[in-house]
Amino acid sequence: MKVFISYTQQDKKHADLIADKLRGAGHGVWYDGWKIKAGDNLLEKINQGVKEVDAFIIIISKDSLSSKWSMHEYSALAFGELSSPSTRIIPVLVDKSTVPQYLARYQYVDLSENLDRGLNEILGFLSDEPPAAKIGAGRERTYTQALASLTRALNAGRLSLFCGAGASIGAGILSWDNLLLMLLESMMIRMSREHSLSVEEVDPMEFQRSYSPSALVVGKYLKTNLGNDFLPQLRDALYSKNPKSCAIIEAIVDLARPQRDGKPLDSIVTFNFDGLIEEALSANNIRHIAIYEEGMRYSCSELPIYHVHGYLPRKGRIKKNTDVVFSEDAYHNQFIDPFSWSNLIQLNKLSQNTCLFIGLSLNDPNLRRLLDVAYRKNPSRELNHYVIKKVPSHSEGTINSLALLLEEQDANELGLNVVWVREYSHIAPFLTEIAGAKA
C-alpha cells in the first residue's frame, strides 16, 4: 500500500519512526519526495496525491497546529476525502495537542501515550478495511468530550458563559431583525410627523426590502434620528412582549447555583441588552451583579454578568451616560480601542478560562478578532473553548458535509470546538447535563 506522511520539520523524528515501521511491514512510504511547496496550487497537489496514494497519515502536534501551511494541508486533505471516500486518512497525535475537529471524525492514533502500541495501531488501520469517516460519529465524540471538559472547568471555577441573542429568544425577546423593524417604524412615524411625510407611506419592511441597509447602518439611522428617545424606545421594544424566562435561561441558572463541594461558575459575558438572566437569578436567590461600564466591581460572593454591549434592565431610570453597542460607530469604537474594558474582560476570560458560547453566530467581527488574538497567544494551541451550533436541517449529502466541515474548520481556527445539536431545544438539556455532572 502506498502511504503519504504529512508532517512539519519539527516532527521529522516521528515521521521517520512511522516510515520505518511501515516499510518493515511492506508498505511503500512517500514523505520527502512529494512535498507541497510555496506557490503550488494546494488543492491540485492534494487531488494529485489522492490519486497516487492509498492512505494519508497526518502527524498532529503543537508545531503542526502552529503552522498555517500545515493546517491548510490538513483541511485540503479532509475536503478532498469527500470526493474520494476510499482514501484512508489516519491522524496521528504525537503530543498532548487537540486533534482539529474536522479530523476527529476519523479514528486517530495517539503516540503520546504508548509509542509501540500506537505504531502497531497504524499498521492495523492499514491492513483492515478502511472505516468510513462518519461525521455523526465525530459529533458524538465531541459532545462527550465537551461535556467532560466543561464539567471539569465548572468544578474548578474556570467556566465562563458567552451568551448571545439565541440565549434569550425563547423567552420572548424580539429577534434582532424584528427589533430593528419595530424601531425603524417608530423612527419613520416620527420623521413623518416632523417633516410632513405621508403616514400611509411608512412601511419599514418595504424600506428594508427596497434598500437592504445592513443592521449596523440601520442602527446608526435609529440612534441619530430618535435622539434622546432612542434608549427608552429601544427598551420598550426589547420588553414589548413581556418576556420572562426560557429553558436555556433556567439551565444557566442551574449552572450558576453555588455548590457545597465545587467552585462556582466564574462569570457570564453577554452581548444582550436585556436583564432576563439577572431576573432569573434573583428569582432563585443567587447573588450576582450586572457589570456594564468601566470601574464597576463585584465581591467574591457575587456572580459577575458582563454586559459588553450595554445593559437596559426592564425597570428603573436610564442613566444619562448609558451607552449600547447598537450602531456602526459603536462597533468601530470597540474595534479600534484594544484597551476598552469590554475587550479586556473578554480577552481575560478567553485566555484564563474555558468558555462556552451559547446563542452566538460568531459573525461579530470584534469577537472574532478577540478569539483570534487569544488563540494566537495560546502556546499549547489547544482548542479550549466550545460553541453550540444547530446541525442544518438537511445535513446529509456532500454539500452539507462540506458545509459542516467548513464551520468546524472556521471554529477550530478561532480556538473553538463545535458542539452540534439536532434542535435548538437540545441546548438546555446539554447545559443541564453539565450542571448535573458537577462534583
pLDDT digits (tens, 9 = 90+) for 391-431: 877 656 666 777 888 888 899 999 999 999 989 999 999 99
Average pLDDT, rounded, for the chain: 86
What does the pLDDT read at residue 338?
78
- Which of 190, 212, 238 is a domain's end point? 238
Cα separation, 431 vs 247, in Å, equals 10
Joined together, the cell numbers standing for residue 98 give: 487537540
Joined together, the cell numbers standing for residue 137 give: 460519529
**Judgement on whether residues 401 and 272 belong to the same structural domain of the protein:** yes
Q: Looking at the domain assignment, is residue 127 inside a domain?
A: yes
* Long-range contact pairs involving 136-143 (C-beta distance under 8 Å, separation at least 24): 137/105, 138/101, 138/104, 138/105, 138/106, 139/105, 139/391, 139/420, 141/104, 142/101, 142/104, 142/417, 142/418, 142/419, 142/420, 143/419, 143/420, 143/430
- How many whole angstroms from its chain centre is CA 321? 32
Residue 159 gets which letter from DSSP?
A: E
Joined together, the cell numbers standing for residue 296 give: 464597576
Cα separation, 393 vs 46, in Å, equals 31
Q: In the block, which residue shows the cell 458560547?
A: 357
With 60 as the cut, is the pLDDT of residue 41 above it? no
Largest CA distance in the chain: 88
What does the pLDDT read at residue 197?
64
**Judgement on whether residues 297 and 396 belong to the same structural domain of the protein:** yes
**Judgement on whether residues 417 and 277 belong to the same structural domain of the protein:** yes
Give me the mean pLDDT over the 79-108 stretch.
Answer: 80
**Judgement on whether residues 220 and 282 belong to the same structural domain of the protein:** no
Q: What is the pLDDT of residues 250-280, one digit of tens each?
A: 999 999 998 777 788 999 999 999 999 999 9
Number of residues written out for the chain: 439
Q: Looking at the domain assignment, is residue 231 inside a domain?
A: yes
Cα separation, 335 vs 329, in Å, equals 10
What does the pLDDT read at residue 69?
76
With 70 as the cut, is the pLDDT of residue 5 above it? yes
With 90 as the cut, is the pLDDT of residue 177 above it? no
Q: What is the pLDDT of residues 100-124, one digit of tens each?
A: 888 877 888 999 989 999 999 999 9
**Judgement on whether residues 156 and 180 belong to the same structural domain of the protein:** no
Cα separation, 53 vs 42, in Å, equals 16
- Which of 103, 133, 163 is a domain's end point? 133
What does the pLDDT read at residue 271?
97
* pTM for this model (two decimals): 0.83
State the total domains in the chain.
3
pLDDT grade for 164, boundaries at 50, 70 and 90: very high
Torsion angle of the four alpha carbons 335, 337, 339, 344, in this order, in degrees rounded to the nearest 10: -20
Q: Looking at the domain assignment, is residue 138 inside a domain?
A: no
What is the domain extent for residue 43? 2-133
